[in-house]
Amino acid sequence: MLSLDPQPDFVYQWFPSDIAPRNGTSHGDDPRKHAIGLSYAVELEAQPSPRGEALDFQFVSAEGLPVRTWPGSTELIRELVRRST
């Protein structure tokens, strides 16, 4: 159960290449827009069921992520796992 005012476990950003930080800040690549992801690590109490935009769910370990993910998503997931252990 989430608290009434949950705070993200990690904030990650995606940038188009022309405005991406050049100071070593970790970020993902999104050619369309600047996006900010408020990311939460939670324990599930039941099996998730797809609704809305989701067609399916699949659980994988951080090491077993697909080779092709949205640029920066693998780094985000690994950071969330690192912070939650």
Quick check: 41 pLDDT over 90? no
Does residue 70 form part of some domain? yes
List, for residues 3-32, the tens digit of each pLDDT value: 899 999 999 999 999 999 999 988 999 999
Q: Are 83 and 10 in contact (CB under 8 A)?
A: yes
Q: Side by side, which strands form the sheet with 28-29? A: 28-29, 10-15, 35-39
**Is 73 part of a structural domain of the chain?**
yes
Indicate the number of domains in the chain. 1
Show the domain range for 71: 10-42+60-84
Residue 75 lies in a domain: yes
Residue 73 has pLDDT above 80, yes or no: yes
pTM for the structure as a whole: 0.71
| The most confident of 34-38, 49-53, 57-61, by mean pLDDT | 34-38
